[in-house]
Amino acid sequence: MEAIEGVKNLSYALDTFYFLITGALVMWMAAGFAMLEAGLVRAKNTAEILTKNIVLFAIACIMYMVVGYNIMYGDGVNPYIPGLSFFLGGDNDPAAVLQQGTDGWYDGDYYSVMADFFFQMVFVATAMSIVSGAVAERMKLWAFLLFAIAMTGFIYPVQGYWKWGGGFLDAAGFNDFAGSGVVHLCGAAAALAGVLLLGPRKGKYGPNGEIKPIPGANLPLATIGTFILWLGWFGFNGGSELVLSNVGEANAVAKIFVNTNMAAAGGVVAALVTARLLFGKADLTMALNGALAGLVAITAEPLAPSPEAATLVGVVGGILVVFSIITLDKLKIDDPVGAISVHGVVGMWGLLAVAITNAEASFGAQFLGLAVIFGWTFVASLVVWGIIKAVMGIRVSEEEEFEGVDIGECGLEAYPEFTGPKGSGL
Amino acid sequence: MKMVMAIIKPFKLDDVREALSEIGVQGITVTEVKGFGRQKGHTELYRGAEYVVDFLPKVKIEAVVSDELAEQVIEAVSKAASTGKIGDGKIFVFSVEQAVRIRTGETGDDAL
């Protein structure tokens, strides 16, 4: 009996450790978003976007602990209405765990509850960080943080409940392995609602419909941010298999890592070639967006396809993202980092691609999930943004926008010159 | 020949550049600078310590033009760079003794 108990201990510990490590990798994506966004905005707006990124992460963690996790994974009232309870419970009792039989082990408590919370918490933070890039350079910091409270405590958990919490989308056969819909499309929908109420940056669109480029100040930061996101995504998709501790599952996790990587690679090449054909040169920022597009596209189903198919899923994402970015600009929807295109448009492709790569999925169920997630998040976000706008305004003043939100919102500069006591130029 | 130097608000650069192009100014030099006139800065706190944001970002434009064009340049820049708010900037005019086009060796007005 000792040997079996030893194996149960190890299995539980391994799967728990797996959740914790992949969760930590996804946490690291917060650094990726921060660097990517910092690199793609102007120098005078860099400190503010970094502040947004680290604070939204903190808010997401706290709100999810307070109420979000329970809305999403607690017992619901019915498949449409989640339950409402606050704060976390305890963890599994070791003696009770060890008394479970090995048959049906994985239907029981096979890993720590706290590890589950930790893993899910970093996903809501990811969804929230998608919004910060789209509204960059002209939104009031505190308005954004207020929205983050609503998004991470309520809007995201409700649609998450409908799928991963076992609600009606799950019952309808909607597939979303790691969150092309639940995380990425959701974040993009919230971002779109915000951007529509916010308006474009001053000087972005000319009076005769010209689109003026506003180049980012630090492409090395944008690049390292993308690489960090790529690395973190192994945790994002890999951890979403939710189990490691047997041969079949270990193989599955390995396949997920490979597919995730191949999709990113496909996205980079496709976006680069598309940009080269359209613009004549190798646009680094498009290549970076292409990597992310590939990753978002495979996120809905990184297990079922072969690595070759996963590459193609990424390729389609990479091509789509370039056209989406151009189209959004033509529609005068100003998105400084391409977040709505990468996470929203390609998130939709990722959801629909599941019907192609996974025999058990159907276009009908995927469309349902896509429409519900987008519709709920977009409308709920519009309401929240609208309330914040009415109460305190969401856009900085014109002077502050020209001066840069670093000074206006943060009182400091990311790249200071001639500062020091009394402007002494120390 | 005159050098017209203008210190303007950064977001006005495009408008000024277009206005100069319209009156036939063929080339300009642009520098990012910081400075202040009578527009005061303000104080901020960095980790609790007070510092003065005295020097505000501006853009300096330098254009060397023929004597005849100088008046038009002043007028064009003034109109294009003006917002009516404090900090719009200043224009200075210098006499230029000589100008040379490096590629061809032309001098004087021909070099402009």
Q: Determine the Cα–Cα distance for residues A179 and A236; give it in Å rounded to an integer.
A: 9
Contacting residues of A for B17, CB less than 8 Å apart: none
Average pLDDT per block of 10 residues along chain A, 426 residues long: 91 97 98 97 96 97 97 95 94 95 94 97 97 97 98 97 96 96 98 98 91 94 98 98 96 98 98 96 96 98 97 98 96 96 97 96 96 98 98 96 93 80 56
Closest residue, chain B, to A424 (C-alpha): B52
pTM reported for the whole predicted model: 0.92
- Out of B14, B45, B52, name the one closest to residue A411 (CB): B45
The alpha-carbon radius of gyration of chain B (Å, integer) is 17
Tell which of B9, B16, B36, B52 to mutate to test the A interface (max A CBs under 10 Å): B52
Ramachandran class of A332: left when φ > 0, alpha when ψ lies in -120 to 50, beta otherwise: left
Cα atoms found within 13 Å of the Cα of residue B111, Cβ hemisphere only: 17
**Which pLDDT score is estimated for A276?**
96
DSSP-derived 3-state class of residue B92: strand
The DSSP code sequence of A151-190 is: IIIIIHHHHHHHHTTS-HHHHTT---SS-IIIIIIHHHHH
pLDDT band at B37 (very low <50, low <70, confident <90, very high): confident
Interchain contact A415–B (C-beta under 8 A)? no
Find, in chain A, the residue whose alpha carbon is nearest to that of B41. A423
Residue with tokens 């000087």: A203
B33 contact A CB<8A: no
User: What whole-number distance in Å separates Cα of residue B7 and Cα of residue A414?
Assistant: 24
Q: Between chain A and chain B, how many beta carbons pairs sit less than 8 Å apart?
A: 38
Q: Report how far apart, in Å, the C-alpha atoms of A94 and of each of A116, A277, A398 are.
A: 16, 60, 59
Answer yes or no: do B53 and A407 touch at CB < 8 A: yes
Instruction: Give residue A426's pLDDT.
Output: 56
Task: Tell whether A89 is within 8 A of chain B (Cβ).
Answer: no
Q: How confident is the model at residue B36 (pLDDT cuts 50, 70, 90)?
A: confident
- Nearest Cβ partner of A423 from B9, B10, B41? B41
Q: Can you give the pLDDT at residue A12?
A: 97
Cβ–Cβ below 8 Å for B11 and A422: no
Q: Exposed (0-12), middle (13-18) or buried (19+): which is A28, by Cβ within 10 Å? A: middle
Average pLDDT over residues B55-77: 95
Rounded CA-CA distance A260/A299 in Å is: 7
DSSP A346-362: HHHHHHHHHHHH-TT--
